[in-house]
Amino acid sequence: MDLLKTVTGKVVAGAVALAVIAGGISWWRMDEATRQMLLSGSGKIVSWLLVVLFAPWATFFLTTWVAKRESNAAGAALVAAYTVIEALLLAWLFHWNIPGATAWTFLVVGALFAAVYNLLVCDWLAEKLA
């Protein structure tokens, strides 16, 4: 069993090293416009992700207010409101330009991630603070 772990570890380490080297060479050979596009898109996604991560915590008072109403519909409306606002923010960051199936897939996956995260955080906050 130790032999299998050792071999697997070396294969994975080699694959990671190869990916890093290939990524570095690709980055070096890439034209400036493509490099700038990737950096700009990555920055927008990271900033959106930070908004998604901090929004429910920054507005904890809304969650506690909704939790005191003891209404599942009110809780669902709060989570839906967070999610819709965050999905619209993501679309706005990319200038409302969602050109193809891949972009739509990423937008939907981002919205689903935001919805699940908002649900978990709001539920935790309601349980601890209300």
What's the mean pLDDT when you consider all of the chain? Answer: 87
Establish if 17 belongs to a structural domain.
Answer: yes
Q: Residue 35: inside a domain, yes or no?
A: no
| pLDDT < 50 positions in the chain | none
Residues 60 and 116 in one domain: yes
Q: What is the pLDDT of residues 7-26, one digit of tens each?
A: 888 888 999 999 999 888 88
What is the total count of domains within the chain? 2
CB 117 within 8 A of CB 55: no
The dihedral sign for the CA sequence 9, 14, 15, 17: positive
- Residues 73-83 pLDDT 10s: 998 999 999 99
Question: What's the domain range around 56?
Answer: 40-129
pLDDT of res. 1: 66
